[in-house]
Amino acid sequence: MTVEQSHNGWVAVDPAARVSYSMDGFSDDAVVRYELAAGWKPLDRLPLDAKIERVQGGDIRDGFRWLSTDDATDGDYRVDLGTGHVDLIGSADHVDGECEGIDATVLPSGDLHVLSVDKALVPVRLVNLAVR
């Protein structure tokens, strides 16, 4: 099967489900999925109930897809992997630069960790966020 995917700026893997996730466009309203155990077999796209603009990174945790963007607010989003429902959960709060990747590993410093690059490219900020 040929998969038409024009953009792949990031990939996140759910090791329990053995599924990888990405998006076809820099801004999109669907998540692209592949079954890893079957040699990256394409799965049906997961339609989202909202378009997310300028996605820079994603991670998987607790049945959700966590996304960071370089949109007008450096928004951070949570996507339900069962329903495709999108929630804006906050911002990396450094809109003067460019928000890049996100990690959803729970650490003492926070639940989400977002990389934000200053407009001068130095310094690079790693932002830790708490999710309520």
- For residue 105, the domain's CATH number is 2.130.10.10
Q: Please tell me the predicted confidence (pLDDT) of residue 30.
A: 92
Closest CA to 4 of 40, 38, 32: 32
Residue 3 within any structural domain of the chain = no
Q: Which residues of the chain have pLDDT under 50?
A: none
Number of domains in the chain: 1
Residue 25 lies in a domain: yes
**Structural domain contains residue 5:** no
Of 68, 93, 94, nearest to 79 (Cα)?
68
Per-residue CA distances from 24 to 3, 12, 28, 46, 58 (Å) = 10, 13, 7, 11, 13
Residue 38 is part of which domain span?
A: 12-129
